[in-house]
Every structure is written in C-alpha cells, then in structure tokens.
Amino acid sequence: MPAIHIIGHRNPDADSICSAIGYARLKNILAPQTTHIPARCGNTNARIDTILERFRQPAPLHLPDVTPRVRDVMTTRVISITPGATCAEALEMIEKNNIRVLPVAETGGRLLGSVSVFQLGAHLAPAPGGPPAMRRVKTSLACVIRALGATTLHTEDPDRPEDLYVRVGAMSLPSFERTLDGDGIPLAQSVVLVGDREDIQRLCIRRRVRALIVSGGLPVSPEIAALAREHAVSLIVSPRDTATTAWLIRYAALLDGAIDRDLRVLDGDQRLDEVRPRLAASPRAAHMVADANGNLAGILSKTDLLKPSKTRLILVDHNELAQAVPGAGSVHIEEIIDHHRLATPPTARPILFINEPVGSTCTIIAGLYRNHHLEPEPAIAGVLMSGIIADTLNLASPTTTQKDTVLLDWLARLAGADPARLAARIFSSGSIILANSPEGVIGADLKRYTDGSLRYAVSQVEELGFRNFNARFAPLAAALEKLRADENLNLALLLVTDINTQNSLLLARGDPAILSHIHYPPGAEHPGTFEAPGIVSRKKQLIPYLTTLFQQLRAEGRLPA
C-alpha cells in the first residue's frame, strides 16, 4: 500500500512542520501496517531549522506538488518487441497478453513506435495488383524457419533481410518451368514450396532459386540435399502442409514495415488533466511514454485515466485547498487535523476531521497522544512543544487556550526542555525580513482567502521589534503590490508582529474602498501602514476583523454583495 504523506500548508511555518512530524510518528505507532511520512510543501526557515536542529530531526520530505501525473497511472511493466521480430511473433504477444497496442523498441530500450492488430492485419493482407506484389514478403530465411518451426538441411545467408516471393510448385514440370521464366519474379528472390516431387526440386535447385521449402515434413533424398549445397540453394523442410506453410511465410514478414512510427509520445511528468483531452480526442487506444533519453518508460491507455490516484494525504494545520499543496484536490485526503476556520474541501467519502479552537495544531496532536495513553519520545515531545510555542508566541497570543498551557507543560517535562529558554532560542534564531528577499518575506507565511467575490491574502512575520521592517519598507511594499497585481487580489496585507511588545504593524495594498475604511490608526512612519496594538493573531484577530469589515461595506453598498 502506498505511503500516506502528512503535510501542512504552503509556505510552512513551525506549527505545520512540527505537527506533521509529531502526527506521522503517532500514526506509525497506531497503524504500523501503513507508512506515514511527514512532508512539507515549501522551504523551511531559520526558526524551523533551529527547532529541527535542537531536537535532531530531519526536515520533512519536500513535496511541492501532488497533481496526478502520467507516471502515476501509466502501465510500467510494459511488454515490448524489437523491430527485428516477425509479425507472427507480434500477433502471438498481443494475443497471449491480451493487449491492444504493442510498443516497438530497440534492444537498448529506445522507443521506435508501436503496432496493433489492425496495423498488422493491413500489413499482412496481400496488396491488390499483379502476382509479384501479392507474393512479396519482406523477411529473412531465419524468420521463415522460425515461423514454420522448420528443419534446416542447408541455408545460405539466412539472416539477411530481403524481399522474397513465394511460389508453389503444384503443376507439371513443363508448366512450372514456363512460370519460372514468365512471371517476372527474380529467381534469386524466389521461395518455392514443393512436396516430394523431385523433378520440381531439381529444377528449382539448378535454376538457383533463393530457397526450396519441402512441405508436409516429407523426406528429402541425399541427392537433392547434396545438389542444394552444390548450387548454394537453401533447403528447408516445413512440418506444415503447403497452404499453412504459405500463410506462415507471410506471417514471418519482418515487423519493421508494420510499425506506426508517428509517435505521440508522452512525458511521465505531464499532468493528467492536460493529457486527458488529448487522449479522449485521439483514435489511438494508447499512447507511449518515454523518458528523457527516448527510452520506453510506460504506456498510457484511455482506461488508465479512470484509475484512482494512489497519492494519499493527511492535511495538518489547514483545511483550505487554496492553502494546500498543489494538486491536493485531485488526490485522496484521508484526514484533516486543524485549528483554523472551516473551509473544507469536498471528499468522496467520510474522513477523520479534527478541528479544535486551540492555539496550535501541535496541541491537538499532543492531545491525541494522551488520548491513546502514549507519551511521545523526548525529541518528538520537543518538536511538538516548539510548535505550540511558535504558534502561540509562548502562550502570549490571544489564541492560547487552557489546553495549550496544560499540554505545553506536559511536553516540556517529557522533552526535558524549559519553555522560556526554548522560546528565546526559537524567536532569536533569525529575522525573516533580513534572511529573505522581499518576495520571500511576503511568501514566507502567506495565506490566501476568499470572502464572497473578494479575494485577498495575508502574510505574517514575527520579529523582535520593527527596526528591520522600517529599514526595508520600500522593497517590501513593492513586493506586496506586485503580489496583489499578479494574483488580481482585492487586498494584500503584511502583518509584522513584534514578539516583545505583542503589537503589530499592518502594511496594506489594494482597493481604496477597503483601505479607507480600515479602522486601525495610520502608521506614523510609512504610507499605507496601520498600527495594530495588541493584534498578534492573524487567525483569531485580523481575519475576523476583516470579515466584519467586508460585511459592513457590503451593507453600505460600498462592496458588491
């Protein structure tokens, strides 16, 4: 069974990383038959790295996109055939494996094309026209011998591919001799089927036909065999009757001429939603998939598109698809563990959904350990307490609950770590503003929201004071405006929170009808900023304020309903 990835929101913060690690460890204890892997959608930051280094935990697996791809549903155990094979061998492989399309690839794996039953049928049917065209078979004597299961008495250059013309010596000697001379077929390319008529056999050998095939498994005299060697004529004994032998020689035609080389090759990394319309409109039953070197990697049929996705996710610290890893809406979401407002994605079946109004998702995870009468190992306890400290500003945030306080104390005892010292280490580990580009600062902890027809985004960074923000105000404001314009947002906000004073500055760009009605006092140093004393929680303070503001503006007719 495929592993289940436990993953937080885009632009991960400490809580989403720590809860993914802690919950993966718990799930692997409770359900050891399934592997649970902590994952992250974006890069870590200095604070996350500090936590992981302090408790010696590797960063979760980087999983930037889970959109279903061709490689996820294609058939990888592909049966293929080489161009040197015969049509008979291709038909046998198609029938034996109950497939509609057979890839053709070189021995080294390079994809050349494909064949189907329909292509083989068209290739094997005698072309209309004169006798030469109807008798011609592009093959080699080795392929003929293989197709017939024949016995070889003598062969000359059996592996050479060539145009051979099939004749049947089923008439009187004079009549057959006239045919040999009058139908325009070169004797050096003639394959004559004959029974035990030695007069026909001698004539063919003396006239140096390419090969003489004795049908029905009939015996060949030593004299005829010696004569064939003397005149360099291949002599073959077919166990089949003449009619069957004639048909099998045609089936021994080399596959090369039947190959469909009009390759519509897919890349395994292509998104299924991109190739699905192309396959639906195509008359082809399947498309070949090749790697970067042109080697056959798989085959994608129309029925493969109906396969359910193998990717399975557990979402932590979010429940909105706009904040989830790209492609989350197209795969199986098994569970959601969160502490934010509800905006849940639809699911095909009931799932476990835990949503609690606490300060941190790590608090919920820690509570699950206690509910199962389990104690996380010290390193995992430390990771979970770090998530609680980071998300509640060490219990100073208005989102903090009694449960956060109790479980932080429990985890601290298990981890052998002092919360105050750990908080000082986490919050002094580096400035987000100084450690990133302006675009990186805006995207470090960015969440997107919709409210009716409004689309807006709120980014938050936590700093020790506002000095770094003031020093880099201009590029930060430009990056925020670029985000608003690029994503066509009604409003883009950056909330800069001072951990020491528990106050924030709000940088805003967007619709003047909204900006002019924000009630926070204007910032003293920079245009387009607002002072937000006591505002430290985006989730519990800023978003509810904005929701109320939008409702008020709609009621006044200043925003569309």
Measured in whole angstroms, the distance separating CA 109 from the mean position of its chain's CA atoms is 21
Share of the chain above pLDDT 70, in %: 98
Q: What is the DSSP letter of 558?
A: S
Top pLDDT among 9 and 306 is at: 9
CB 306 within 8 A of CB 79: no
Top pLDDT among 388 and 118 is at: 388
What is the predicted pLDDT for the residue at 120? 84
What is the predicted pLDDT for the residue at 126? 60
Q: Would you place residue 530 in the very low, low, confident or very high pLDDT band (cuts 50, 70, 90)? A: very high
For all residues of the chain together, what is the average pLDDT? Answer: 92
Q: Would you place residue 132 in the very low, low, confident or very high pLDDT band (cuts 50, 70, 90)? A: low
| Beta strands at 136-139 and 162-168: parallel, antiparallel or unpaired | antiparallel
Residue 24 in this model has a pLDDT that exceeds 90: yes
Q: Across residues 353-361, what is the average pLDDT?
A: 96
What is the predicted pLDDT for the residue at 500? 84
Q: Would you place residue 284 in the very low, low, confident or very high pLDDT band (cuts 50, 70, 90)? A: confident
Residue 286 in this model has a pLDDT that exceeds 80: yes
Top pLDDT among 1 and 437 is at: 437
Residue 130 in this model has a pLDDT that exceeds 60: no
Q: How far apart are CA 345 and CA 322, in angstroms?
A: 10
Top pLDDT among 379 and 83 is at: 379
CB 39 within 8 A of CB 347: no
Helix (H, G, I), strand (E, B) or coil at 21: helix
What does CATH list as the number for 432-555? 3.10.310.20
Radius of gyration of the CA atoms of the chain, in A = 38
Partnered with residue 287 across adjacent β-strands are 300
Q: Does domain 141-253 have CATH number 3.40.1390.20?
A: yes
CB 339 within 8 A of CB 19: no
Q: Across residues 474-480, what is the average pLDDT?
A: 97
What is the predicted pLDDT for the residue at 230? 95
Q: Would you place residue 200 in the very low, low, confident or very high pLDDT band (cuts 50, 70, 90)? A: very high
What does CATH list as the number for 72-122+257-306? 3.10.580.10
Residue 250 in this model has a pLDDT that exceeds 80: yes
What is the predicted pLDDT for the residue at 561? 76
Q: Would you place residue 128 in the very low, low, confident or very high pLDDT band (cuts 50, 70, 90)? A: low
- For 53, half-sphere exposure in the C-beta direction (CA atoms, 13 angstrom radius) is 10
Residue 504 in this model has a pLDDT that exceeds 60: yes
CB 505 within 8 A of CB 530: yes
Ordered alpha helix ranges (H), 342-437: 361-371, 378-392, 402-415, 419-427, 432-435
Name the CATH superfamily housing domain 4-67+310-427: inorganic pyrophosphatase (n-terminal core) (3.90.1640.10)
Ordered alpha helix ranges (H), 8-153: 14-30, 46-54, 70-73, 87-97, 117-124, 131-135, 141-148
Q: What pLDDT, in 10s, does the model give residues 86-105?
A: 888 899 898 898 888 889 99
What is the predicted pLDDT for the residue at 225? 95
What is the predicted pLDDT for the residue at 205? 95
Kindly list the domain boundaries of the chain, sorted by start residue: 4-67+310-427, 72-122+257-306, 141-253, 432-555
